[in-house]
Structure 1
């Protein structure tokens, strides 16, 4: 294992932050990139990364790694320093108001149309041409802020990875994940090992989040050149939502780290026999099929259904209780599916998003993720 340090642009006199990346296994084979807590207040991923590092060190010592596995346990030192009245605010940069997990470089746009003359009828040749062009394009970028330098450093570490896992969590949620529809057959074993209760598929949810800029690059190039030049799926990229912000425990971290180890063994990046695949809890569904339940009024929010179980259309999800008027408003789902995430607050304000249900039929368009 070796450690690399990646300085970020200094935002102010006398201050400087950096990223640390930990590299296991030999270069030249397949590459895996795993980062944690890009939203800095989503801490379960940091503990999973810690558990993964211990496991990878042992596997490396045993000679069982066939490729390089890069771990970035703290992907957002900028957000980790944003405290207001004792509360860690790690989702948005307070300087710009931007979501840390949006506005990454559109990789396909960086290299089109310069690569067309270099493509051929050989898919593997095209993979290398595209990766070389991506590396050169990212190396040529000059960031103008600390946030931009953070995003660029993460992309430079990950652009050539065969597998990219971005470890997040939600406010209050069951285990779930996001990935590209074309990648689902390759990602399904990971969903099984993790016991994901929802697997949400989207080609382009809008906003250039970290996992999508890897997968969308290849599908975009394939759409543009695929009839003339074969373009492979160059990156299996997944956002893994490790349950809730409060779900920080050794037990969860051990389970989740071992699930990732089993997946990488199944992908033959770690030598050995992977554990038998568990059953998939629920079928994958389109992100555009997610029903967003909002509060029509204010009051005390009382959930009536648990996370991570199947709900039929019309089933009660929660009540909003007004202790001044004695009014009780019941929220019910309009679609059948799994309630995979819900708000952590228990005071509903009018218009607040209360819960998300993973339905099977796509009906939403435009930006599919939270701001």
Structure 2
């Protein structure tokens, strides 16, 4: 194992932070896997899972079982970890700019990448072109100069991930069941991981509209492919997914151990780690389009009483939550219009009118535009 510390740009006098990454099997031929945790710094279950995964990778590396390279960043957001305001942990948004740490990631422009490769594109070797494109991305990222700590964090994460075959971004929701987001192109390769994790919600979207860390890799591939001549082949885009390790309060050894072992099983199944992969469990729920998930909105303000637990399988018309107005005695019941899994909900128990309250998966796409929250 090799430990690398990447200094971030100092935003104010007297302050410095590093991004710490752990490299297993570095320099080995084979696949490169990039895994990071808690880009939203207050999503602690992901960080605990990454810590448990690090212990397992140390054991496997020492046993000589690494057949590829794994780069692990257990603390992907040292900036957000320091943001506490009046006792409240603010890890989702960067305090100076207000930007979401996992939105609008700045990848190099597809046109510039195509031009950089220029006449070197090969007309009969898709794998060769994939290597060319990844090298061009890394070159252009290396030529970028960040202006502040926030930009330098993003750049450091992109540099670690942009030449990886598989990118896994570990998160959690507010209160949630185990679920994940990926693209239709990545789903066949990610399905074994969903099985090992026991995910009972898999949401598919090529472009959810937020340019989140996992999506930008596949999106860039699509943009480059559209600019290349038809007779220039290009390999499949980087496989990428966001893993939602339940809710913010689900911080315990049992979940972390199980999730870390699921990721190890996935890496064994891919041949990155030597060994016999465990038999894959059945997929708990079929993948559904993110555009088919129903966003439940509070129509009024009041006290929230959830009538459905996270992970519940609901039918259209089932009650999901009530909102109680203690002044007028009115009780407003919100029901789902979907048949699906109630996969996440807000942690607060008092809401304002118009607040997003939770989501239920759905098999039929009906939403357009930006599909993910702020």
Q: Which TM-score band applies after superposition, normalised by the shorter structure? A: over 0.9
- For 2:76, the equivalent position in structure 1 comes to 75
- Alignment correspondent of 1:307: 310
Kindly provide the CA deviation profile for residues 151-209 of structure 1, in whole angstroms up to 9, marking residues without a partner as x: 00000011001111100000111111011111111111111111111111111112211
Q: Against the structure 1 CA distance between its residues 226 and 182, is the aligned structure 2 distance closer, same or farther, given a 3 Å change threshold? A: farther
Task: Determine if contact 1:168/1:239 at 8 Å carries over to the other structure.
Answer: yes
2:80 and 2:342 map into 1 onto residues whose CA distance is 29
Q: Can you give the 5+ residue segments of structure 2 that lack an aligned partner in the other structure?
A: none
Which position in structure 2 is the counterpart of 1:18? Answer: 18
Kindly tell me: are residues 107 and 266 of structure 1, through their superposed partners in 2, closer, same or farther at Cα, counting changes over 3 Å?
farther
1:223: Cα distance to partner? 3.3
Task: Answer yes or no: is 1:39 the counterpart of 2:40.
Answer: yes
Alignment of 1:49-64 (within 5 A): 49-64=50-65
Please name the residue that 1:228 is paired with.
Answer: 231
1:87-112 per-residue CA deviation (whole Å, 9 max, x = no partner) reads 11000011000000012123453513
Does 1:216 find its partner at 2:227? no
After TM superposition, list the pairs within 5 Å mapping 1:80-95 onto structure 2. 80-95=81-96
CA-based RMSD of the aligned residues comes to 1.2
- Segments of 4+ moved more than 4 angstroms: none
1:202 lines up with 2:205 in the alignment: yes
Report the Cα offset of residue 280 of structure 1: 0.8
Q: Is the 8 A contact 1:107 1:214 kept in 2?
A: no
Tell me, yes or no, if the aligned pair for 1:219 and 1:233 is still in contact at 8 Å. Answer: no
Q: Note if contact 1:222-1:232 (Cα within 8 Å) is conserved in structure 2.
A: no
Corresponding residue for residue 120 of structure 2: 118
State whether residues 114 and 228 of structure 2, in contact with CA within 8 Å, keep that contact through their aligned partners in structure 1: no
Q: What is the deviation of 1:130?
A: 0.5
Counterpart residue number, 1:288: 291
Equivalent residues in 2 for 1:312-323, closer than 5 Å: 312-323=315-326
166-175 or 101-110, which moves further after superposition? 101-110
1:39–1:168 Cα contact (<8 Å) kept:
yes
Q: Is the 8 A contact 2:175 2:248 kept in 1?
A: yes
Answer whether contact 1:26 1:65 (CA < 8 A) is retained: no
C-alpha contact (below 8 Å) 2:180/2:241 kept by paired residues: yes
Cα distance between partner residues in 2 of 1:226 and 1:154: 31
Structure 1 gap ranges (5+): none
CA contact (8 A) 2:134 2:162 kept: yes
Q: CA separation in 2, counterparts of 1:352 and 1:231? A: 43
- 2:364 alignment partner in structure 1: 361
Q: 1:165 aligns with which of 146, 161, 168?
A: 168
Closer, same or farther: CA 262–129 of 1 in aligned 2, 3 Å: same
Aligned equivalents of 2:301, 2:26: Cα separation in 1: 56
| Deviation at residue 226 of structure 1 after TM alignment | 6.6
CA–CA distance in 2 between the matches of 1:162 and 1:47? 24
Q: Could you tell which deviates more after superposition, 88-97 or 218-227? A: 218-227
> What SS class does the counterpart of residue 152 from structure 1 fall into?
helix
| Contact in 2 for aligned 1:218/1:232 (Cα 8 Å) | no
Structure 1 residues 314 and 142: alpha-carbon distance in aligned structure 2, compared to 1, 3 A threshold:
same
SS in structure 2 opposite 1:277?
A: coil
Aligned to 1:340: 343
Question: Which is further off, 320-329 or 187-196?
Answer: 320-329
Residue 119 of structure 1 deviates from its aligned partner by: 1.4
Residue number in structure 2 paired with 1:4? 4
Check the 8 A contact 1:180/1:212 in 2, yes or no.
yes
How far did 1:237 drift? 0.7
